[in-house]
Amino acid sequence: MASLPEIQAMKRALELALLGRRAVSPNPMVGAVVLDSSGNSVGEGFHEKCGAPHAEINALSEAGAAASSGTIVVSLEPCCHYGRTGPCTDAIIKAGIRKVVIAMRDPHPNVSGKGIEQLESAHIEIETCVLLDEAELLNRVYLHYLRTSRSWVTLKMALSMDGRTAAKDGSSRWLSCEESRKQVHRMRASAQAVMTGAGTVRDDNPELTARFTDQPLEEQPVRIVVSATGDLGNSRKIFGKTGRVIIAVPENVSCKLQKFQREFGADIWGFPADSTGYGFNLTLLLERTASEGFGEILCECGRGLATMLMRKKLVNTLSVFTTPLILGGEGLPAFEKLGIDSMVDSIRLENVRSSLSGTDTHLEGEVVYGTD
């Protein structure tokens, strides 16, 4: 059993880990706290960005000689391989640490228990699974990435009480109250990338930047536009004043988009054309975004892309703002058919967060597909 000071140190380590959120993705967020032999905290650290020293190294360096015969509390199993930095296990052994408290094993194939083995062979006491659930939740994007090589998708929707995204004629202003709109800007501010469909770009001409926050211009999320046809209409706000724009299309239409590359410096990503859904395989897109370091993508899109992402089970978090009005059966539905025949097949949320947002309500949770 971990002692109370060790558990408190783990809580702190998880807080520290979160500070690296945007910069380390899709690598794991890690925090570490060093306790001296009397149980006092003498060093803290977190993984600040890819390629920078690991949390353990930062915490040990702050602790200095006080680490000797002490304990290191770390939210993820220490690494034992030479990556961009040296193995943390070596540094822990060298610092004279007597006990290592770990929240979760690192499922990365280069680690996966080997870090713990190395520490044990150096006769260091090991305690694992301390605040395991919290650590897994914190690193859900990393765990998802290891399992699927894809980015984590958060689908945000604004709906009427009867589940409509717009009235019959397509009008949808304002389907969310002011507080919810501000909340969406905060979500964008903490996202690395915001994804939408070309239909939304054509119809709404959105900027998809984080406004009404103190977000610096240079930290605006990357915008990703998904198009089956390459037709973005005459909307240009998405290219905005700053930041990268990626346009994902089937290869056979990518030539149409070279003007956007020339005029706005947009990145054009072509994928093999197919007829199974959105012109190309969205899974390939999410693999590419992950490989380029976008661990998590906020998706604000129309019914077509939302339906396709749901059908392909690519939505990981669903975040719905519901506003107190009714648009009737003629209003535009949130989704097209999803292949749900009965309640037992319904798409459910787990780890549900429900909250009030001005006069709207906000339901958010991780998606569990009916046939999972």
Closest by Cα among 231, 230, 227, 247 to 239: 247
User: Nearer to a copy of itself by C-beta: 1 or 326?
Assistant: 326
The CA-based dihedral angle spanning residues 95, 97, 100, 105, taken in that order and rounded to the nearest 10 degrees: 30
Question: Within positions 70 to 129, which residues make up the interface with a copy of itself, using CB under 8 A?
Answer: none
Q: Min. distance of Cβ 139 from a copy of itself in angstroms?
A: 23
- Give the containing element (helix H, strand E) for 157: strand 152-160
**Does residue 334 touch a copy of itself according to CB under 8 A?**
yes
Query: Minimal distance in Å, beta carbon 148 to a copy of itself?
Result: 21
- Cross-strand bridge partners of residue 284: none
Considering only 4, 262, 343, 372, the residue that binds a copy of itself (CB under 8 A) is 343
Does the protein bind a copy of itself through residue 346 (CB under 8 A)? Answer: yes
Binding of a copy of itself by 182 (CB under 8 A)? no
- Tell whether residue 299 is a contact of a copy of itself (CB under 8 A): no
Using CB under 8 A as the binding rule, whether residue 339 contacts a copy of itself is answered as yes
**Piece of 63-71, 217-225, 280-288, 357-365 that binds a copy of itself (CB under 8 A):** 357-365
Q: Look at residue 247 and give its three-state secondary structure.
A: strand
The answer to the question of residue 65 lying near a copy of itself (CB under 8 A) is: no
Instruction: Report the distance separating Cα 101 and Cα 95, nearest Å.
Output: 15
Q: How many residues lie near a copy of itself (CB under 8 A)?
A: 54
CB 366 within 8 A of CB 189: no
Q: Which stretch binds a copy of itself (CB under 8 A): 172-180, 191-199, 256-264, 282-290?
A: 172-180
CA distance 6 to 291: 35
Q: Is 218 in the active site?
A: no
Q: Which is nearer to a copy of itself, 146 or 325 (CB)?
A: 325
Angle made by CA atoms 247, 252, 254, in degrees to the nearest 5: 30
Burial per residue of 263-301, b for 16 or more beta-carbon CB atoms within 10 angstroms, e otherwise: eeebebbbbeeeeebbbbbbbebbbbbbeebbbbbbbbb
Report CA-CA distances (Å) from 214 to 30, 48, 123, 206, 210: 26, 21, 49, 20, 9
Shortest approach of a copy of itself to residue 320 CB, angstroms? Answer: 5
End-to-end alpha carbon distance in the chain: 34
The residue within the footprint of a copy of itself, chosen from 92, 153, 310, 314 (CB under 8 A), is: 310
* Residue 254 interacts with a copy of itself (CB under 8 A): yes or no: no
248 near 267, Cβ under 8 Å?
no
Q: Among 137, 326, 371, 372, indicate the residue that binds a copy of itself (CB under 8 A).
A: 326
Write out the two tokens for 50: 């890819």
**Among the candidate windows 26-34, 120-128, 168-176, 210-218, which touches a copy of itself by CB under 8 A?**
168-176
Residue among 6, 56, 77, 296 flagged as catalytic: 56
Residue 312 and residue 277 in contact, taking contact as beta carbons nearer than 8 Å: yes
Radius of gyration in angstroms for the set of CA atoms belonging to the chain, rounded to a whole number: 23
Q: Shortest Cβ distance from residue 118 to a copy of itself (Å)?
A: 43
**Considering only residues 126-165, where is the footprint of a copy of itself by CB under 8 A?**
159-164
Interacting residues with a copy of itself (CB under 8 A): 159-164, 166-169, 171-173, 175, 307, 310, 318, 320, 322, 324-331, 333-349, 352, 354-356, 359-363, 365
Active site (catalytic) residues: 56
